[in-house]
Each structure stands twice: as C-alpha cells, then as structure tokens.
Amino acid sequence: MLKRSPVIEYINYIFGFIILFPALIMFAFTKSLTYLLFILSSIVYIAIVCILIYCKRKDVQLKYSMDDYNELSEIVRQQREKIEEIEGELISLHDALKIITSTFDLNTIIVYTTKLLNKYTECEWYYVCFINKNMGKPDYKYEYGEACSAEIDKSEIEKYIDEAYNSGIIDNIQVVSDKNKGDTIIIPLSVSKELIGVIYAGTSVVGRFSKINLNFLESLANFTAISVKNAEMYNNIYHQKQEIEALYEQAAASNEALNAYIKELDETKVELAKKNVELTKFYNEIQYGYLQTVMCLANSIEAKDPYTRGHCQRVMEISCELGRAMGLSEDDIEDLRYAAILHDIGKIGISASILNKPGKLTEEEFNEIKKHPSIAYNILKDVDFLRNGLDGVLQHHERYDGKGYPNGLKKDEICIFGRILCVADAFDAMTSDRPYRKGMSMEDAIKELERCKGTQFDPQIVDVLISMVQEKMN
C-alpha cells in the first residue's frame, strides 16, 4: 500500500475540520444555512485541491506524488457529487414549499409530503398521525403499504411522544435498525416548540435509512408542520365564521336576544383578531422559509465562481448606505436590502460556462446574460414581502441614457431602487478582481463614475457615492 505524503495528510486534516464545523453549529442555525455552510466548506476544499493541481501543471516543486493527485481528484469528484445532491434537495424543498403552502387542504399537504418522503427514503410503509390534544395520544389519519394491515407495533410512536413531552425535546428524528425486522424512522412534526404529530415509516431492508440526509427530512417536516398548522387554523376560523353567521341570523329574529348575541359577536371578533395575528406569524415564517431557499440557490451560483463570491452582500451594503445618505425611509431601505441581496438570483438560469468565461463574451453569450434580470423577476414575483423591491431587481441594468436592458428605460422611468443598484453593482464590479483583470483602485473607480455620470448612471447618485468614498478614504 502506498504511503500518503504529509501534504495529503495535512489537507485531510483541514478538510476534516471544514466538514465538522457546520455540524458543530447545526443546532445554532437554520437547516438551510447549514446546507449552505456545507456547500461553502466543500468549495474551500475543492479550491485547495485545484491550487495544488495548478501548481503541479506549472512545474512548481511540491513534495507529493501522482498517486496523491489521483486521490485528490477522486475526492474533488465526490465533493462535486455531494454539492449536486444537496442542490437537488434544496430544489425539491423549494418545490415542496410552493405546493404545500398554497393549499389549506390537509389531505393534499400530507399526500405531497409522503410522496417526497417515499422518493427519498424508499420506505415500504408509513403512518402519519396527529396528537389528540384532549387525550395526549396519537390519532392515526393516514397510512400506506402492505405492512399497515399487519398490525405494526404502534407502541413505538406512543413511547416516542411520551419521551418528547417528558424531555421537552420534540425535534429529534429517531432511526432504528433491526437485523430481523429492517429499519424504522420517526420524524416529528412540530411548530413553535409544540409537537403536533409524527410520521412513522419503515422498510424491510436493513441499513437503508442510515444513508438518507436527516437535515433534508427535518426541513421537509418543518415546512409540513407549519402548513398543517395553517390549515388547522384556517379551518377553525372558517367554522367560527359559519357559527358567527348562524348566531347573527338567530339574533335578528328576536330583538330581545339581539343584544346578547351582539355582545357574543364582539368577544368572538377579539378572538378572531388574535387568531389572525397567529396566522400572520405563521405566514411570515413560510415567506421567510421561501426566502431562505431562494438565498441558498443564489449562493450556490456564487459558490461556482470564487471571483463573484460576496458580490451580492457588498452591493447590499453599498446600496443601503446610499439609500440612507439620500434620505430614504427605513421601510424603503429594508425593501432595498432584499432587492440588492437578490439582484443576481436570475443568473441561476444562465449557463455556468458563460458566467465563468474569462474572456470577452460573444454577442450571443451577452444576449443570454441580459436575460438574468427578467429571470430573477419571475422567480421572486410571488413573494409578497419582496414586491416593493421587485422593480429594482428587474431594472438594475437599465442605463440613465436609455441604452440599458431589459426594457431600455431612461432617467426617472427607472425606479429609485434600480438607479441605486445600477451604481452600487457597477462600483463593486470595478473594484473587485476578475479572472481576466485586477480590480480598480478607488481613485480610478471614482474617475470612471465621473466619466459615466449622466450616461450610464444617475448623476445625483454618483455624487453621493463619490462623497461617501472620499470621506472614507480621508
């Protein structure tokens, strides 16, 4: 057996820490952020390997063998496959979120969730049960598979629920492998530290569940639980509305009873208002979950090209500073922040070969690039709390003289967010390194802003940015 060189051992130690780091902080962050950290850590490792291979091709004298290179190449391939697998899971979660949050029908929510569960676990049977609040016991609502008719021992579910209530830990997925019976898994459905149900699934194949991604199942369970809770609240409010209408009709039949019913209606309105606050809270959680999914997809695009990593974050910081300097309200700055961080999300629909091309783009390639603002608009248009900044995303490549894209708008036809993003985006591009050039100095970037003032950029915004930059330089 070939002895590994110290370089390989050293790199593996680094990689071990990089991979372990996201796992250590998993309980402090959302699952979507944990996925992102794993992707970024893998990219760091791949970058290290690519540097070593580059050095070898340039005949740099490093103390390791071709066997080490082959081993490193295999590790790179495995990490790329892992990134593609996680990206596929994020897309599946995105699709699931759109479907299960677009309905208040409990059956539709469960059917789609279990369909996705079956796809990723290849389970042979499952139960879906919800907790009976009055009895504290599970009510079995949905089941699937031949094993369901064979009196599967459901005491495991009751035992899991009792332990969850006693310990206060309600979000742990439990996987059990029995060499005689196969694998079983219990996935909790919880909202705001309340256990509302569980999914109990199994297979006769021993070890099958040991290979699945529990982070993916936890995220799916969280989305499902929120949607189930929303459906329950919607149905409760709907039934309460029917009851209120019935009471009102009865009250109208008798003047004497009318006052009593009006009082009861007032009390019910207060309760409905409270329910509406709760429903709004859950709706915002869903919207935030959608944003997290979109952000993970956006960052997966940035991760493909180390030269653009952090670009959206820097554009957001520059844009918000410009907005404050120009006297925008805090609400407008918040909308501008979301527009800036997501302004390049449309590049997910552009070929990586075009995005990472080091030389000048052909006319056909540039026409493809020009599609990304419209792609971004279509991705984000259904998210309610992003609507105020949506025009800024669409218009951030419009020019002050009307020669920009996608719609050739000019001057005040371009919204204020679009004009701010145009300047911030260009300034960061000027001062950042690219594969084919070094970034400009601040002095040269200021000269370029002055040169393009009134043609490409809004003169007022350019003056504000130059003042900000010069103040920091001084």
Let me know whether 310 and 455 are in one domain: yes
Judgement on whether residues 128 and 165 belong to the same structural domain of the protein: yes
What is the pTM (predicted TM-score) of this model?
Answer: 0.43
Domain match, 373 and 448 both: yes
Give the max Cα distance, the chain. 99
Verify that 308 and 202 share a domain, yes or no: no
Statement to judge: residues 467 and 339 lie in one domain? yes
Same domain, 258 and 182: no
Is 47 part of any domain?
A: yes
- Is 297 within a domain? no
- Domain boundary among the residues 186, 201, 224 is at 224
Residues 249 and 345 in one domain: no
How many C-beta atoms lie closer than 10 Å to residue 124's C-beta?
A: 19
Report the pLDDT value the prediction gives residue 130, as an integer from 0 to 100. 82
Number of independent structural domains in the chain: 4
Kindly list the averaged pLDDT for each block of 10 residues, start to end, along the chain of length 474.
Answer: 48 50 43 54 61 54 61 71 65 66 77 80 82 68 60 69 69 80 84 82 83 77 81 79 76 66 77 81 75 66 65 91 95 92 87 81 91 92 86 96 96 96 95 82 94 96 95 87
Is residue 138 within 8 Å of residue 129, measured between CB atoms? yes
Shared-domain flag, residues 79 and 194:
no
In this structure, are 315 and 449 located in the same domain?
Answer: yes
Q: Could you tell me if residue 289 is inside a domain? A: no
Query: Of the residues 35, 65, 100, which one is the last residue of a structural domain?
Result: 100
pLDDT on residue 254: 64
Radius of gyration of the chain (CA): 28
Amino acid at the residue 196: I
Domain range for 335 is 304-473
Which pLDDT value is given to residue 82? 66
Q: Tokens 């419009």 map to which residue?
A: 398
| Final residue of a structural domain among 202, 224, 246 | 224
CATH number at residue 389: 1.10.3210.10
Q: pLDDT value at position 350? A: 86
**CA–CA distance, 19 with 33 (Å, rounded to integer):** 14
* Same domain as 346, residue 207: no
- My answer on whether 403 and 433 are in the same domain is yes
Q: What is residue 2's predicted lDDT score, i.e. its pLDDT?
A: 41
d(CA 424, CA 426): 6
Say whether both 201 and 308 belong to one domain.
no
